[in-house]
Amino acid sequence: MNWNSQDLKDSLTFFVFVAVTALCLSFTISIMVYRGVLIADPYTFVVANLFVSSCVAIPTATIASQHEFQLRRYQRQLESIASMDPLTGLLNRRFFRFAAEEELARQKRTGTVAAIALFDLDKFKAINDRYGHQAGDEVLKRVAEIVYAELRGPFDKFGRWGGEEFVLMLSNVTEADAGVILERVRERLASTIIEAGQNPVTITASFGFAMMHEGAQFDDVVKAADDALYRSKGRGRNCVTAATSGLRAA
Q: How far is CA 245 from the centre of its chain?
A: 32
b/e 202-213 (16+ beta carbons within 10 angstroms → b): ebbbbbbbbbbe
175 catalytic residue (yes or no): no
Q: In a 10 Å sphere around its CB, with 0-12 CB exposed, 13-18 middle and 19+ buried, how is residue 224 labelled?
A: buried
Contacting residues for 47 by C-beta, under 8 A, at least 6 apart? none
For residue 195, the 8-state DSSP code is E
**3-class DSSP assignment, residue 69:** helix
C-beta separation of 1 from 80 below 8 A: yes
For residue 45, the 8-state DSSP code is H
* Nearest CA-CA partner of 226 in 165, 163, 160, 156: 165
* Nearest CA-CA partner of 182 in 95, 99, 117: 117
Q: Is the dihedral of CA 192, 193, 196, 198 positive or negative?
A: negative
From the candidates 102, 164, 187, 195, give the one annotated as an active-site residue: 164
The catalytic residue positions are: 164
